[in-house]
Amino acid sequence: MRALLIFLTITAVLLPSSAAAADLPGIILMMGDDHGWEETGYNGHPFVRTPVLDAMAEEGLRFDRFYAGHPNCSPTRASFLTGRHPNRMGTFAPGWSMRPEEITIAAILAKAGYRCGHFGKWHVGTVRKDSSLNPGAMGFDEWLSHDNFFELNPSLSRNGAPPQTIQGESSEILVDETIRFVDSCRESKQPFLAVVWFGSPHEPYSGLPEDLALYDHLLNQYPQEVTLTSNETGMPAKRPKGHVLRERYAEITAMDRAIGRLRTHLQNTGLRDNTLLFYCGDNGTSGESALGEPHRGVKSTIYEGGILVPGLVEWPAAITQPRTSNVRAVTSDLLPTICSITKQPLPVRPLDGINLSPVWESGMSERPETLFFWMLNPAELQASPQTPWVDPREQIGTTPLVKLMDGKPNRTFQNFRYAEIPESLTQGARAVISGNHKLVIHTRTTDEHVELFDLSEDPAESRNLINEQRQTADQLRNELLEWQRGVRHSLAGSDYP
């Protein structure tokens, strides 16, 4: 009897009561693939139709200065899950995995009684069952996911099983799966976290006839040829840009419609009021599809066009009035924000994100901390002896995609343990944003190219102020160097027990 009482007491402490669980918000965190800031109707795009995202921007909280943690997808996804800059965990570029020791949003919320599901693109490791980096290993209870990106009729793995092709439009498939997951949690009265990472609008593009028809007028408007992956061969091919834009915008519109279906379901089931619904992109618009305005740069660059993305939050129970925020926010902020909302402690390790809830709770109008971006070139570490951090056999992907690399339709990931990380490791494109000032540094073969911009007056980053405000530039550079020192310690593994 005494043992039973002890067990019941411990259980009561560890598990939230049904009343407490009912107060916890549902959380759905969505992300588009290669969806840049300008590619929304509410941001004034001349062609693309996003009525659902426009409604979210009008009715919820719209971040006009929301950043991806990196100009490329795998690193940004790592920052989204962990609240940390991807260089801290060796996720330098697409195809570089996370590390199993990282603590994710899902692992944290599981301790608060949440059921956690991942649906769509993973790309921070493989989704196979025996991987130490699959969504299940990183805190999710269930998943229907892909190692990388996908188009119509995607091939997805359920809970690590061999992938199966599912017929249909990929964003709709993911939303249907999310609705099923949310409904099961509602029936069991369990709070839920759904991370929904769409495969759209990443190239190669494909769209439904009714969505393509919306953009037929673009076919002859942009005759210049651009290079992207062929859906037929999986290899690079040249096509007229107007044809490419028609297909890309069709994917964005289909994704927008799927989000609307999810939004309507939350309303119809009484879940919308206390569900935090979030959307962002994982990096800026890809080069073959960018129109060149209003920002400088594209995906894979450190300029605004490479890192500025849509950022939207709806949570009627807490965000009771529509608002637009100019606070600079970033994907690394998601974990600290969710921890604050659910009253969970932060991981005991360096974080690069901040809690954004003061934006809607107390009207925070300016980011209190500096933002850092760093495209570390892993070639700079080749001189150091390195061994795989994760068994290479676990890093071989199973879910096929159209784009071939080395003749294969699957992706293989990598992450390394370095015998030495030199103090001189500061190279690669990097940027610092503090207030309205942004310092951008590019390392060249023999020198550095340094630029300073005032983003409040020059969001297109067209006027270099380096010769006029040298002292400001030097101060930002010193902050960057100090931050990089801490990142190097993390990269060496010093943050893990």
Q: How far apart are CA 334 and CA 319, in angstroms?
A: 16
Q: Residue 146, Cα to own-chain centre: how many angstroms?
A: 15
Task: Count the alpha carbons within 13 Å of 321 in the hemisphere toward its beta carbon.
Answer: 8
CATH number of the domain encompassing residue 422:
3.30.1120.10
Angle at which helices 73-82 and 334-342 pack, to 10 degrees?
A: 20
Residue 2 lies in a domain: no
Q: Residue 493, Cα to own-chain centre: how many angstroms?
A: 23
Per the structure, the complete domain to which residue 31 belongs is given by 12-367
Residue 274 lies in a domain: yes
Percent of the chain with pLDDT over 70: 96
Measured CA angle at 256 (ends 40, 284), to 5 deg: 45
Q: How far apart are CA 67 and CA 21, in angstroms?
A: 32
- Considering the domain architecture, whether residues 355 and 384 belong to the same structural domain is answered as no
- Considering the domain architecture, whether residues 76 and 184 belong to the same structural domain is answered as yes
Q: Which of these three, 367, 401, 416, is where a domain ends? A: 367
- Residue of 303, 422, 390, 461 lying closest to 89 (CA atoms): 390
- Considering the domain architecture, whether residues 381 and 362 belong to the same structural domain is answered as no
- Number of structural domains found in the chain: 2
- Considering the domain architecture, whether residues 237 and 91 belong to the same structural domain is answered as yes
Residue 470 lies in a domain: yes
Residue 392 lies in a domain: yes
CATH number of the domain encompassing residue 112:
3.40.720.10
Measured CA angle at 178 (ends 334, 24), to 5 deg: 50
- Considering the domain architecture, whether residues 180 and 86 belong to the same structural domain is answered as yes
- Considering the domain architecture, whether residues 32 and 158 belong to the same structural domain is answered as yes
Residue 3 lies in a domain: no
Residue 496 lies in a domain: no
Q: pLDDT tens track of the chain, all 497 residues?
A: 444 333 333 344 444 444 455 689 999 999 999 999 999 999 999 999 999 999 999 999 999 999 999 999 999 999 999 999 999 999 999 999 999 999 999 999 999 999 999 999 999 999 999 999 999 999 999 999 999 999 999 999 999 999 999 999 999 999 999 999 999 999 999 999 999 999 999 999 999 999 999 999 999 999 999 999 999 999 999 999 999 999 999 999 999 999 999 999 999 999 999 999 999 999 999 999 999 999 999 999 999 999 999 999 999 999 999 999 999 999 999 999 999 999 999 999 999 999 999 999 999 999 999 999 999 999 889 888 899 999 999 999 999 999 999 999 999 999 999 999 999 899 999 999 999 999 999 987 778 999 999 999 999 999 999 999 999 999 999 999 999 999 999 999 999 98
Q: Which of these three, 347, 367, 387, is where a domain ends? A: 367
- Considering the domain architecture, whether residues 168 and 244 belong to the same structural domain is answered as yes
Q: Show the beta-strand stretches assigned E in 79-235.
A: 115-121, 142-146, 155-158, 164-165, 192-197, 225-229
Tokens describing residue 136: 């299940």
- Residue of 274, 201, 267 lying closest to 27 (CA atoms): 274
- Considering the domain architecture, whether residues 347 and 198 belong to the same structural domain is answered as yes
Q: Is 46 exposed, middle or buried (0-12, 13-18, 19+ CB in 10 A)?
A: exposed
Q: How far apart are CA 48 and CA 28, in angstroms?
A: 24
Return the pLDDT at 144: 98
CA distance between the termini of the chain: 38
Q: Which of these three, 367, 393, 409, is where a domain ends? A: 367
Residue 334 lies in a domain: yes
pLDDT, tens digit, 9 for 90 and up, residues 410-461: 999 999 999 999 998 999 999 999 999 999 999 877 789 999 999 999 999 9
- Considering the domain architecture, whether residues 339 and 466 belong to the same structural domain is answered as no
Whether the CB-CB separation of 315 and 341 falls below 8 Å is answered with: no
Residue 34 lies in a domain: yes
Instruction: Please count the other Cβ atoms lying within 10 Å of the Cβ belonging to residue 265.
Output: 17
- Considering the domain architecture, whether residues 423 and 452 belong to the same structural domain is answered as yes
Tokens describing residue 172: 């709709």
- Considering the domain architecture, whether residues 333 and 395 belong to the same structural domain is answered as no
- Considering the domain architecture, whether residues 361 and 379 belong to the same structural domain is answered as no
